Structure 1
Amino acid sequence: MSMAENPLIEIKNLQKYFNVGRGAVLKAVDNVNLQIMEGETLGLVGESGCGKTTLGRTIVRLYEPTGGEVLFEGKNVHKLQGQELREFNRKAQMIFQDPYASLNPRMTVADIIGEGIDIHGLYKNRERTERIYELLNLVGLNKEHANRFPHEFSGGQRQRIGIARALAVEPKFIVCDEPISALDVSIQAQVVNLLMELQQKLKLTYLFIAHDLSMVKYVSDRIAVMYLGVVVELATSEDLHKSPLHPYTQALLSAIPIPDPETERKKKRILLEGDVPSPINPPEGCRFAKRCRHAKPVCTEKQPEFKELEKNHFVACHLY
């Protein structure tokens, strides 16, 4: 996949905290810094509850940030108003994890896909209908599907409808929030291949959120690993799989099954001890320290700096 050198999106010291009552604050995203280059797929992985979805939703303005900023084509997206805001809402779209919950059961497929077209006034009358048929065709459905309702489709087909809806407004950037985790394994590859074909064809930029590292490796140019609200490692897909630096990344990668039983048996599985600490009062220092087999006293006292160790390979760990 070809990448431009200039970032389409810059995330600077982004924070998203939630007040959960009694003065407690849940730090879902805590000082995240990332760039997403035009035309690339940035994979974002981590265990459930690490803040991946919150980060994705804050980027596309579904959430207001607590601190920091998100720049899209150089402009702070949370300060946009009027025409510029409409423009951003068209250019940045999201494909949701659950194709059951994200489609309105009372609307036909044509209305679901056409909604964005109408809001942004992109096509009218006959052209609008043609455009809806074209989008259905693009995602592997046909025009006979236009007048049906979501409940008449399988999970994989619904996700295709969700993809068509996101594409309807001709976006540049799409947050794919675990777009395949609710689908049958046999369908997952089809949807991923579809997303990759569309990226090539329409010159899209993706943030691909998932917890399945093997799938992310397949689709991503670069991968960011998130743990408890912070990014602990960032590298090209190849580097991350070849030489993971952070102990958490190493553990995640060791859990990927290998198709060859012989190699699988010899492989050392790194088992993480202990539970994920609560994001409500995250520990001082490195958030992974309590589960890390290499932890030193400094790890519990001081938060490690996120720095570039090798070219384009960043890690936040006191080991280095």
Structure 2
Amino acid sequence: MREKLLEVKNLKKHFTVGKGEVLKAVNDVSFEIYRGETLGLVGESGCGKSTTGRTIIRLYQATEGEVLYEGENVHKISGRNIKKFNRKIQMIFQDPYASLNPRMTVEDIIAEGMDIHGLYRGKERQKRVHELLETVGLSKEHAVRFPHEFSGGQRQRIGIARALAVDPDFIIADEPISALDVSIQAQVVNLMQKLQKEHGLTYLFIAHDLSMVKHISDRIGVMYLGGMMELAESEELYEHPLHPYTQALLSSIPVPDPEVEETRERVILQGDIPSPVNPPSGCVFRTRCPEAMDICSQVKPGWQEARPGHFVACHLYDGIENGGKA
């Protein structure tokens, strides 16, 4: 039986904006992540996937719900236990230009976590930094340089080295390849997979590049306007997408065969994403859904297991056991 490392239960993160209006960035999201796996989290920009990651790691305080790490609610951790928690979970940020302090050398950037937790000192500290640089494909000579002396891909490697410095169990990768050239993206993803095998890491991989997410993820969750629409194993989701939103996302992935690309059916969504300040009633996707029914505007769809291990929030699959669509 697989061990649950992280469990997110009915998580909500709301922000007050404007004149007392509430922006529902994450609105009642639930999922689990098992030790040693990679869970991909995808969706359009503004769907709440990055906010979910930041709330898990306590960069944001949850409005409602729970985040359980090894059975402990992370938003109720206090005192000395916070340091212990921070060692276990690290984050790779989206922008390798903004996430590195321009006034610090690479050695000090990578070793900052080690200094806070008192892990290495003196020559041992320097030796550990050199080991981490070589682990991520850089050299020890890079330790004395500053971030502006590196390319985007190299900076992201420095960010990965910084995350590894305190020997974490779980890493949240918040769109770690979106700011990189395509040729560099594959290198960073392959590096992350290699490190996962060598260090037994667990990943939450947040991205909007569906083809890359399929390559790295064991399971994939699809978010839209703050809610989770679908969750399944990677191959299952790509072979049997159930939610109309997932089907639209997958149909947008180019096929590297001109004849197939020209003849295949595309799902084109109409309209813009509604405002998270004033989301639609019932199903938040109904205003753009080609399969929308009357019930979609009245009742929020429940989270249900439509196929073994394949979960979806859609009224098309209500009453599956009684002959509903599957």
Verify same fold: TM over 0.5.
yes
Matched, 1:284 2:281: yes
Partner of 1:93: 90
Q: Which amino acid aligns with 1:131?
A: R
- Taking the aligned partners of 2:4 and 2:33, their CA distance within structure 1 comes to 5
Partner of 2:251: 254
Q: Which amino acid aligns with 1:37?
A: Y
Please give the secondary structure, in 1, of the residue aligned with 2:268.
coil
- Taking the aligned partners of 1:210 and 1:10, their CA distance within structure 2 comes to 20
Partner of 1:7: 4
| Alignment deviations for residues 184-235 of structure 1 (CA, whole Å, 9 cap, x no partner) | 1111000000001000100000000000111000000000000000000000
Please give the secondary structure, in 2, of the residue aligned with 1:32.
strand
Matched, 1:63 2:79: no
Deviation >2 Å, runs of 4+:
none
| CA deviation after TM superposition for structure 1 residue 251, in Å | 0.2
How do residues 164-313 of structure 1 correspond to structure 2 at under 5 angstroms? Answer: 164-313=161-310
| Alignment deviations for residues 31-75 of structure 1 (CA, whole Å, 9 cap, x no partner) | 111100000000000000000000000000000000001000000
| Alignment deviations for residues 103-134 of structure 1 (CA, whole Å, 9 cap, x no partner) | 00000000000100000011111111110000
For normalisation by structure 2, the TM-score amounts to 0.96
Out of 144, 150, 153, the residue aligned to residue 153 of structure 1 is 150
Q: Which amino acid aligns with 1:31?
A: D
Out of 39, 44, 47, the residue aligned to residue 42 of structure 1 is 39
| CA deviation after TM superposition for structure 1 residue 84, in Å | 1.5
Q: Which amino acid aligns with 1:80?
A: I
Identity across the alignment (%): 68
Please give the secondary structure, in 1, of the residue aligned with 2:95.
coil
Q: Which amino acid aligns with 1:200?
A: K
Out of 51, 56, 61, the residue aligned to residue 54 of structure 1 is 51
Partner of 1:119: 116
Matched, 1:314 2:311: yes
Please give the secondary structure, in 1, of the residue aligned with 2:30.
strand
Please give the secondary structure, in 2, of the residue aligned with 1:102.
coil
Please give the secondary structure, in 2, of the residue aligned with 1:285.
coil
Task: List alignment gaps of at least 5 residues for structure 2.
Answer: 318-326
For normalisation by structure 1, the TM-score amounts to 0.98
| CA deviation after TM superposition for structure 1 residue 21, in Å | 2.4
| CA deviation after TM superposition for structure 1 residue 309, in Å | 0.8
| CA deviation after TM superposition for structure 1 residue 83, in Å | 2.2
- Taking the aligned partners of 1:228 and 1:125, their CA distance within structure 2 comes to 48
- Taking the aligned partners of 2:195 and 2:271, their CA distance within structure 1 comes to 41
Please give the secondary structure, in 1, of the residue aligned with 2:110.
helix
Partner of 2:80: 83
| Alignment deviations for residues 231-285 of structure 1 (CA, whole Å, 9 cap, x no partner) | 0000000000000000000000000001111111111111000100000011110
Q: Which amino acid aligns with 2:268?
A: L
Task: List alignment gaps of at least 5 residues for structure 1.
Answer: none
Please give the secondary structure, in 2, of the residue aligned with 1:289.
coil
- Taking the aligned partners of 1:74 and 1:293, their CA distance within structure 2 comes to 40
- Taking the aligned partners of 1:196 and 1:30, their CA distance within structure 2 comes to 31
Matched, 1:23 2:20: yes
Q: Which amino acid aligns with 2:72?
A: K
Partner of 2:321: none
| CA deviation after TM superposition for structure 1 residue 30, in Å | 0.5
